[in-house]
Structure 1
Amino acid sequence: MKFLVKLTSPVAVTIEELVRENWQLGKKTVHSLRMQKAFQTPEGIALDWNTPLEVGQAFQIKFEEEGSSYFPSPKIPVQPFYEDDHFMIVGKPAGIKTHPNEVTETQTLMNGVFHYLDGKGHGYGEHVHRLDEGTSGLVLIAKHPIAKNLLDKMLEKKQIVRTYEAIVEGSVKNNQGTIKTAIASDRHHPNRRRVSQTGQTAITHYQVVGRNPQITKLHILLETGRTHQIRVHMAHIGHPIVGDTLYGARAITAQHYALQAFRIQFRHPITGELVNVEIPRT
């Protein structure tokens, strides 16, 4: 694989400084790039790792692509909302898993993504985050190990902002608010989580964007990313997500509960440009 890059650092840096300090790549990735002489001029001449790159200098990175282990499945349709050489953002339907938990599982989003990438001649694709099986919305997929390293670091530093839309039962009293209650596993139900003082810190911010006497539409930002966090917190304040019977909502005719990750925003880790992808609202 190869792609062209322009140095976006405000000062000249060496390749050594770029990969270790600016990009903070893992030791294994750095070693692999060094051994492959991956950093080259646009004409394909290997660059010295200790010679500074000038601000705005163009260079290419060329390396053997590391393969992912997902089984490609044409049965899972893939809807890309954004794609470049480094990553893609795709829509996950409600009702399928983000990734397989067992090698025998082949009907997950990542199986469909891998089939899509395989058709373009790519052997690598890894999800940066995940959504619950019943939650629909945008998922960020790295297309090579450098992008995976960079995006993982950004997610850890909370530099990737994901906004959810939830429709909950009842009329939420406040137009905006923050829920800060710890979440733990429910020992009485293996698939549930519950609010517990002994659990992990969980912080959810919400804003009302629509309401009637029966339901309220919220936009939600997560400060933490606990399993089922939005579902648990909404149920905890007495407003479970419509259709989420696992957390006390009334049964409805729709197959899935009303929660979607509809927007994702961050600075492109390589170009520095703002990435803002949104599923159109109805």
Structure 2
Amino acid sequence: MDKLTTSFRYRTSEEGLTVEEILRDDWKAGKKTVHQMRMDKAVMDTAGHPLEWRTPLEAGTELVFHFKDVYSSYKPDEHVTVSILFEDEHILAALKPAGMAIHPDETDEGGTFMNAVMAHVVRNGGAYAEHIHRLDKGTEGIVLIAKHPIAKALFDRMIEERAITRIYHAEVDGRVKRMRGTLQYPIGRDRHHPTRRRVSPGGQDAITRYRVIERNDESTLVEASLETGRTHQIRVHFSHIGHPVKGDTLYGGSETTDGNYRLIATKVSFIHPFTKELTTIEAK
């Protein structure tokens, strides 16, 4: 797609902050990003005049941040649609259907979640959309999308620092005996399979907390929250304790008629790094 300007507006909340302090101290933007934005005179007032970076600003000053030639390569695809659950200047949250890939394998492909998100962004005059986390193709639920590079960097760091709460509902095979528990097993690659993961002593630390919502004769509905975000984490952990997610045949789960997993990302919650407000988004 054409290289369009990506921009966002921000209103200062504290008296006396400078542009440099907002970027460097509050948002902790990288040195390279700060330097480039200074060279590009990328921060302006609402009249389009570049601002001095070290001049204290009055509380309530509205700033406009521009990113020259910053755009995403996903091809907008109007033939696929997703439900937008939340959107502001910085991020959006959309509901990914089960069975839809999160992004294309090749940049010119369509039909994926990110192609649908990009179509929405372009329709509204934007040019940038990058997912902050992922869901497996067979999983339904909420995905957070950054609408500019600073939001992407901030939310990536929040994921690393476990500052975003992510809640899932999963129907797993069998009757889970304990009403609640913590699954803390390191997860690594399975050397015998190209995409599968496994519990491994040499793997990355992984923590899943759960509580039982409902028990049936052959399955259990659980609510699971992630303290870490390892690939296939919920699927690997519940398979490891003998209760694989229904439909997840890769990890021993029973088959479902549609071939999708009975796993839904139902809720995300975080302190918004730009507004400082507790933000909770739930699947409808």
TM over 0.5: yes
Confirm or deny that 1:71 pairs with 2:71: no
- The total of aligned residue pairs comes to 279
- 1:252 alignment counterpart: 256
8 Å CA contact retained: 1:180, 1:201: yes
Identify which range, 249-258 or 101-110, moves more after superposition.
101-110
1:197 to 190, 194, 201: 201
- 1:5 alignment counterpart: 10
Confirm or deny that 1:80 pairs with 2:69: no
Distance in 1 (CA, whole Å) between partners of 2:61 and 2:108 is 46
8 Å CA contact retained: 1:6, 1:271: no
State the secondary structure of the residue aligned to 1:80: strand
1:187 Cα deviation from its structure 2 partner:
1.9
Q: Which whole-Å deviations, capped at 9, do the CAs of 1:133-170 have from their partners, x for residues lacking one?
A: 11111111111112112212222211111111101111
8 Å CA contact retained: 1:88, 1:140: yes
2:64 to 51, 60, 65: 60
1:247 Cα deviation from its structure 2 partner:
1.1
Distance in 1 (CA, whole Å) between partners of 2:45 and 2:122 is 28
1:182 to 181, 186, 205: 186
- Percent of matched pairs sharing the same residue: 48
8 Å CA contact retained: 1:195, 1:236: yes
1:6 Cα deviation from its structure 2 partner:
2.1
State the secondary structure of the residue aligned to 1:111: helix
Structure-2 change in CA distance of 1:206 and 1:83 (3 Å): same
Structure-2 change in CA distance of 1:191 and 1:3 (3 Å): closer
Distance in 2 (CA, whole Å) between partners of 1:171 and 1:130 is 28
State the secondary structure of the residue aligned to 2:13: coil
Confirm or deny that 1:141 pairs with 2:145: yes
2:225 to 207, 216, 221: 221
8 Å CA contact retained: 2:187, 2:233: yes
- 1:121 alignment counterpart: 125
Distance in 2 (CA, whole Å) between partners of 1:26 and 1:101 is 29
1:20 Cα deviation from its structure 2 partner:
1.1
1:172 Cα deviation from its structure 2 partner:
0.9
How big is the alpha-carbon RMSD for the aligned residues of Structure 1 and Structure 2? 1.8
- 2:273 alignment counterpart: 269
8 Å CA contact retained: 2:165, 2:227: no
* One-letter code aligned to 2:56: P
Q: Which whole-Å deviations, capped at 9, do the CAs of 1:27-83 have from their partners, x for residues lacking one?
A: 332233213323233333332111122444433334435111112222221210011
8 Å CA contact retained: 1:135, 1:259: yes
* One-letter code aligned to 1:88: L
TM normalised by structure 1 equals 0.92
Distance in 1 (CA, whole Å) between partners of 2:18 and 2:253 is 56
State the secondary structure of the residue aligned to 1:4: strand
Q: Which whole-Å deviations, capped at 9, do the CAs of 1:80-117 have from their partners, x for residues lacking one?
A: 00111211100111112212233353222111111221
8 Å CA contact retained: 2:18, 2:57: yes
8 Å CA contact retained: 1:65, 1:124: no
Distance in 2 (CA, whole Å) between partners of 1:247 and 1:24 is 40
* One-letter code aligned to 2:64: Q
Identify which range, 66-75 or 163-172, moves more after superposition.
66-75
* Structure 2 gap segments, 5+ residues each: 1-5
Distance in 2 (CA, whole Å) between partners of 1:109 and 1:18 is 33
Distance in 1 (CA, whole Å) between partners of 2:57 and 2:225 is 38
TM normalised by structure 2 equals 0.91
Distance in 2 (CA, whole Å) between partners of 1:43 and 1:76 is 38
- 2:113 alignment counterpart: 109
* One-letter code aligned to 1:241: V
* Structure 1 gap segments, 5+ residues each: none
- 1:24 alignment counterpart: 28
Once superposed, which parts of structure 1, at least 4 consecutive aligned residues long, lie more than 4 Å away?
A: none
